[in-house]
Amino acid sequence: MTIEADPTITRPRIFSGIQPSGAPHIGNDLGAIRNYVKLQHEYEAIYCIVDYHALTSLHDPERLRRQTLEMAAALLALGLDPERCTLFVQSHRPEHTELAWLLMTVTPVSWLERTPTYKEKKASQPDDVNHGLLTYPVLQAADIVMYKASLVPVGKDQAAHLELSREIVRAFNARYGDTFPEPLAVHTESPIVLGTDGIRKMSKSIGNTIDIFAPEDVLRKQIMSMVTDTQRILRTDPGRPEVCNVCQLHRPYSADFERIWEGERTARTGCVDTKKLLLARILEHYAEPRARYAELMDDPDGVDRILADGAERIRPMAQATMTEVREKMGLR
Ligand code: AQP
């Protein structure tokens, strides 16, 4: 079935999930969240804070509760509009875990064992290789197909997971008949944002982030500690903006980034100047969201209401999918 064939779908649907790992960093925003905001105007957009996924690594109940609130407040502060999109918490729609179980029965274990993230997590938390780490991509596939989403705005780091979702959809459709569309990833112009080390992707677990909602002194420390062009030793050495992560980050935040790059190339400006300017531009860019985030964090009940409304709004879609899937799989 193509998504156009479903009469309940008026605009193509998109879905994306984000872990409640606290307030987001600029990699989350540049790689995914700014697409969430943009696409809510063009699509029927559903966004989910994936707390079940977070349980595979986070076992502190208070922290999980707080971080879920922080992520919700952050997404709203960055521009998600509950009138234009649906924002909800994964565990508020228990259909997700039921569908994940059903999809597991069409997913060979070998597909899951070869997932790069599973291998990375096994190495990074060797004392906690829980079953959820292995089946994480199946739950992710369930999240997406529950709403028959055709597009998934994500960063490039999610490419392998999305490909696996497509394989799971193909396996299900082949066994039980056309049911789910194969989801396609949509990327922003910055699909992989490098961290402050300038080498690895910006990531909370690595600790190389620039945190959008952190106090100004923390942001200053994060930006001033960034690794620049390692071949530029002296202040008078010409810089190479193509390889300097500070220069690269000016591109999304500074309309005059070419002038800034020229300053680096000619050694008119030094790395410290370029970092200070980046801090100023990032603070300017996020001034409104930062103020709005503080307001939302002061009103947790208001945020909870938005999340509860979201979960309720999509209940009929989730239930319709489960009825169809149970029927097709032969469950009475
Ligand atoms: N560095 C990045 N560049 C581009 N996109 C990124 N995303 C994450 N990091 C980058 C995208 O942000 C969305 C949410 O990702 P997530 O749910 O994995 O959130 P996170 O746990 O906060 O992201 P981290 O910090 O990257 O997680 P860990 O520490 O687990 O490595 C996704 O669409 C992702 O692609």
Closest C-alpha residue for ligand 1 atom 1: 202
| Ligand 1 mean position, distance from CA 204 (Å) | 8
Q: Quick one: pLDDT band at residue 233, thresholds 50, 70, 90?
A: confident
Assess whether pLDDT exceeds 60 at residue 68: yes
Whether 119 is catalytic: no
E strand segments, the chain:
13-18, 44-49, 85-89, 151-153, 184-186
Give mean pLDDT, residues 37-50. Answer: 97
Q: Which atom of ligand 1 is nearest to the CA of 156?
A: 35
80 and 47 Cβ atoms separated by less than 8 Å:
yes
Atom of ligand 1 nearest to the CA of 194: 1
For the Cβ of 155 lying below 6 angstroms from any atom of ligand 1, the answer is yes
Q: Write out pLDDT tens, residues 134-192.
A: 999 999 999 999 999 999 999 999 999 999 999 999 999 999 999 999 999 999 999 99
Is pLDDT at 4 greater than 70 in this prediction?
Answer: no
Question: Of 38, 122, 156, 201, which residue is the catalytic one?
Answer: 201
Per-residue confidence (pLDDT) for residue 5, from 0 to 100 = 40
Alpha carbon of 75 to ligand 1 centroid (Å): 14
8 Å CB contact between 321 and 148: yes
- At residue 22 the predicted structure's pLDDT band, cuts being 50, 70 and 90, is confident
**Ligand 1 atom 8: the closest Cα is on which residue?**
28
Q: Decide if pLDDT at 9 tops 60.
A: no
**Could you please report the per-residue DSSP string of 262-325?**
HHHHTTSS-HHHHHHHHHHHHHHHTHHHHHHHHHHHT-HHHHHHHHHHHHHHTHHHHHHHHHHH
> Is residue 3 scored above 70 in pLDDT?
no
In order of 14, 29, 34, 154, 193, the CA distances from 188 in angstroms are 15, 10, 8, 8, 11
Which range (115-124, 227-236, 292-301) has the least confidence?
Answer: 227-236
Q: Region 278-295: what's the mean pLDDT? A: 98
Whether 204 sits among the annotated catalytic residues: the reply is yes
| pLDDT, position 230 | 86
Torsion of CA 76, 157, 131, 69, to 10 degrees: -10
Average pLDDT over every residue of 72-83:
98
Measured from the CB, is residue 313 less than 6 Å from ligand 1? no
Mean pLDDT calculated for residue range 66-73? 98
Indicate which atom in ligand 1 lies nearest the CA of residue 57: 30
Write the burial class of residue 49 (CB in 10 Å: 0-12 exposed, 13-18 middle, 19+ buried).
Answer: buried
Top CATH class, 13-192+300-329: alpha beta
Q: Give the distance (Å) from ligand 1 centre to CA of residue 293.
A: 20
- Asked if residue 162 lies in contact with residue 117, where contact means CB atoms within 8 angstroms, the answer is no
CA 142, CA 74: separation in Å to the nearest integer? 25
- Expressed in angstroms and rounded, the spacing between residue 289 Cα and the centre of ligand 1 is 19
Tell how far the Cα of 318 is from the centroid of ligand 1, in angstroms. Answer: 26
Residue 7 pLDDT exceeds 70: no
pLDDT at 52 over 70: yes
Q: pLDDT value at position 10?
A: 63
CA angle at 69 for the pair 63 and 75, rounded to the nearest 5°: 130
- Nearest in space to 210 (alpha carbons), one of 18, 16, 30: 30
Q: Where are the beta strands (DSSP E) in 117-233?
A: 151-153, 184-186
**Coil, helix or strand at residue 172:** helix
Task: Kindly name the residue from 38, 122, 204, 276 that is annotated as catalytic.
Answer: 204
- Is 152 near ligand 1, meaning CB less than 6 Å away? no
Superfamily grouping for domain 194-298: Tyrosyl-Transfer RNA Synthetase (1.10.240.10)
Q: What is the mean pLDDT of residues 62-77?
A: 98
Average pLDDT over residues 62-76: 98
- pLDDT-derived band at 232 (thresholds 50, 70, 90) equals confident
Domain boundaries, the chain: 13-192+300-329, 194-298
**What pLDDT is stored for residue 235 in this prediction?**
83
pTM for the full predicted model: 0.93
Looking at beta carbons, which pairs linking 114-122 to residues 24 or more positions away fall under 8 Å? 115/160, 115/161, 115/164, 116/160, 117/160, 117/161, 121/56, 121/57
> Mean pLDDT of all residues in the chain?
94
Query: Is 121 a known active-site residue?
Result: yes
Q: How far apart are CA 138 and CA 118, in angstroms?
A: 12
Q: Is the minimum distance from the CB of 205 to ligand 1 under 6 angstroms?
A: yes
236 Cα: distance to centroid of ligand 1 (angstroms) = 36
What distance in Å separates the CA atoms of residue 101 and residue 277, rounded to the nearest whole number? 50
Percent of the chain predicted with pLDDT > 90: 91
Average pLDDT of the residues in 33-42: 97
Kindly give the number of the ligand 1 atom that is closest to the alpha carbon of 53: 17
Residue 114: pLDDT over 90: yes
pLDDT on residue 6: 45
pLDDT at 205: 87
